Structure 1
Amino acid sequence: MKRRTLNQIALGTISAAGLAACQQSNSATGTSNASSTTDLPTIEWEMATSWPVALDTIFGGAQVFSDRLASLTGDRFKITPRAAGELAPPLEVLNVVSQGAVPCGHSASYYYLGKSPALAFGTTVPFGLTAQQQNAWLYEGGGLQKLQELYASKFNVIQFPAGNTGTQMGGWFRKEIKSVNDLRGLKMRIPGLGGQVMAKLGVTVQNLPGGEIFQALQTGAIDAAEWVGPYDDEKLGLNEVAQYYYHPGWWEPSATLEVQINLNEWNNLPPQYQSAVQTAAYEANVTMLSRYETRNNEALQRLVDKGVQLRSYSDEIMEAAQQAALELYDEFAAQDADFQSVYSEWREFRDRVYAWDNLNESSFTRFTYSKLNG
């Protein structure tokens, strides 16, 4: 692919169809994705991540990004993802990238709410947007531009969506949870604003990295935990230390993960490499969501066959959690100008996209599912 073509891909409207067409063209001609990059510098970076390598889908977001970036640049720009803890603690990725200690990372923005509560919108917020809605907000609703302005001004970082888990499950519990009263006093691993909502409901919240959840549940250091969904939760063995598996994951109706790049390093990249980064991140975003959507249901069936007890949150818990979430957003908006700035625009978009989806896609899904399973 010529440099002019590479620029057109990332500087224009990027689409999955465009990426697929590009791949098919390369396959047919036997040419490299970037055949005219010999005049560009050779760059090799290491990437800090928040994920264990064993979680192949979520760590795979970083790997898909890196593989596509190398392909687009004729192997002249290579990034090597490292497992959580190799370059930085899993919940410190943004910090080391911001400081310039590591040029880039792959993480979830809501791990860093202590720096700015507005970062929650980069990943997800309770009772927020589904993956499709989140992508619409980021790519076409002004969300990504708003967040990039925040990252640049506060952290000297630029970030791009590079993965999404889809709607998550509602966590693992060692005992049944039927009412809000049953939540009081529980020790639970849950990050982000979801954790703060749970705290309002009386839960003692802990923010542990994925690799520490199993042991914490096994030893009784925590009574409950959420991670992602059936495919990853099975890999962590959470079904071996907790019996009850709840849904829906109201705190994470989707979860965007992102590539975070030190802004000084970004500004030093040739424009062609910047374009390639954007394209590779887009592909990683679509690929991760597609993999989770494909793998989760099969994993859930395996878990049920092993004796896991599926439970749905009661209406009482759902209503109390939603009310607590809305109160929390109002509190943050009153105290934090950055949160208010993002939240006001996000809320307007949410209301519009909810109305559209409820009219069209959701009504179609409800009807079709009811007839197929009636």
Structure 2
Amino acid sequence: MKKLTTTATMLSIAMTTGAMAEPEKFNMATPWPGGQIMKSANRFADRVKLFTNGEVEIEVHVGGQLGGALKVTETVRNGVAEAGHTWMGYDWGVDRTTVLFAGWAGSPKTDVFGAWLTEGGGAELQAQFRDEEFDVVSINCGLGSPEVGMVSNKKIQSIEDFKGLKLRTSGAWAEIAVGLGASTVTVPGGETFEALERGLIDALEWGSLGTNRNAGFHDIAKYSIFPGIHQPTVIYECLFNKDAWERIGERNQQMIAAAAEVEMYVNYTERGHEDAEAYQFLKENGHKFIVLDDEVLVEVARLSAEWADKVAADNPWFAKVLESQRAYEALWENSENYR
């Protein structure tokens, strides 16, 4: 797929081309039970229909309707669904490299991560990696603000507080947090509320303030723990079955990429707005905000770098992406001084 010049150029092409008699209809698998992330997926689908002049229509399905909720990539690759909307880190059990593209404990901040993807070659690496290792077409379609570190029934602030903590998480953090003494488990999003409510877990990480507020976690847990040490940023991915992708032709492929490009920005600003509103709401309703001790942040940085170096030693793709990400992040060193 050719790199986009500008979204405006793509829209100009879209408005001058007639529609097909019969649209290509794609089913889109997701891991999402609903909420803001599902809203973003549906908005992307609506924009695809608009940009392609109705030549491609996408129907979005909640998690578990089309294959396993955490098996979106497999569902798309096998053709059970033509498309998917997911967080790539759910495939970390297949290849740890996925978390580097999805956001992890050692990620750059959101603005740097986004710039690495679009300007630093990250998106091209991602497309090649997903093609070669998972046999799917991959496009970024969502960029999120830092997540809440944890929603918890317990006050968590020091390293000692992590000892024996039953934590729902996923991706790299499921392994890294063990170094702090936590016991980690991965469950689909639709099961997290019940797990916390029933005491099967002490804490969970799921999304940003707005996403967590919309999920109602504040009704069953009184603490939000900051910062989002496990996820300084989050990237959502749109996947396509390769046979289905080829059927729609180059022009519609570029229109879909343009729709994803727009949704990256819209998703980012929407999440920021919802986070601000959620903070005010939660504060007014007596929710407690806890900031982790500096010693925790230092130890997490050490554990994350150690984990990444260990994985890179045995995984050429991981090593290649990690090197690119770290080199690009170095360009932004001390950038707060001039921005």
TM-score (norm 2): 0.95
For 2:29, which of 24, 31, 48 is the aligned residue?
Answer: 48
Q: Is the 8 A contact 2:147 2:207 kept in 1?
A: yes
In 2, Cα distance between equivalents of 1:326 and 1:77: 43
Q: Is the 8 A contact 2:101 2:235 kept in 1?
A: yes
For 2:207, which of 211, 228, 235 is the aligned residue?
Answer: 228
Asked if 1:360 is matched to 2:338, the reply is yes
In 2, Cα distance between equivalents of 1:59 and 1:348: 33
What residue in structure 2 maps to residue 97 of structure 1?
A: 76
In 2, Cα distance between equivalents of 1:237 and 1:65: 25
In 1, Cα distance between equivalents of 2:108 and 2:269: 17
Asked if 1:115 is matched to 2:107, the reply is no
Q: Is the 8 A contact 1:169 1:229 kept in 2?
A: yes
Following TM superposition, by how much is the alpha carbon of 1:288 offset from its aligned partner in structure 2, in angstroms?
0.7
Correspondence 1:260-271 to 2 at 5 A = 260-271=239-250
Structure 1 residues 268, 300: closer, same or farther in 2, change over 3 A?
same
Q: Deviations 1:23-51 (Å, cap 9, x if unpaired)?
A: xx9xxxxxx95352235762011100111
Q: Is the 8 A contact 1:69 1:277 kept in 2?
A: yes
Asked if 1:138 is matched to 2:123, the reply is no
Structure 1 residues 75, 330: closer, same or farther in 2, change over 3 A?
same
Question: 3-state DSSP class of the match of 1:222?
Answer: coil
Asked if 1:38 is matched to 2:30, the reply is no
Q: Is the 8 A contact 1:179 1:314 kept in 2?
A: yes
Q: Is the 8 A contact 2:149 2:224 kept in 1?
A: yes
Correspondence 1:266-345 to 2 at 5 A = 266-345=245-324
Output the amino acid matched with 1:358: E
Give me the identity figure in percent. Answer: 25
Question: 3-state DSSP class of the match of 1:13?
Answer: coil
Q: Is the 8 A contact 2:56 2:248 kept in 1?
A: no
In 2, Cα distance between equivalents of 1:333 and 1:346: 13
In 2, Cα distance between equivalents of 1:299 and 1:39: 43
What residue in structure 2 maps to residue 168 of structure 1?
A: 147
In 2, Cα distance between equivalents of 1:252 and 1:331: 20
What residue in structure 2 maps to residue 28 of structure 1?
A: none
Q: Deviations 1:185-234 (Å, cap 9, x if unpaired)?
A: 11101111122211111111111222211110111100001111221111
Aligned residue pairs, count: 339
Q: Is the 8 A contact 2:4 2:258 kept in 1?
A: no
What residue in structure 2 maps to residue 14 of structure 1?
A: 6
What residue in structure 2 maps to residue 370 of structure 1?
A: none
TM-score (norm 1): 0.86
Q: Is the 8 A contact 1:156 1:264 kept in 2?
A: no
Structure 1 residues 153, 41: closer, same or farther in 2, change over 3 A?
farther
- Bigger Rg, which one: 1
Asked if 1:351 is matched to 2:323, the reply is no
Q: Deviations 1:237-283 (Å, cap 9, x if unpaired)?
A: 11122111111102211100010111222223211111111001111
Q: Is the 8 A contact 2:140 2:236 kept in 1?
A: yes
In 2, Cα distance between equivalents of 1:354 and 1:13: 28
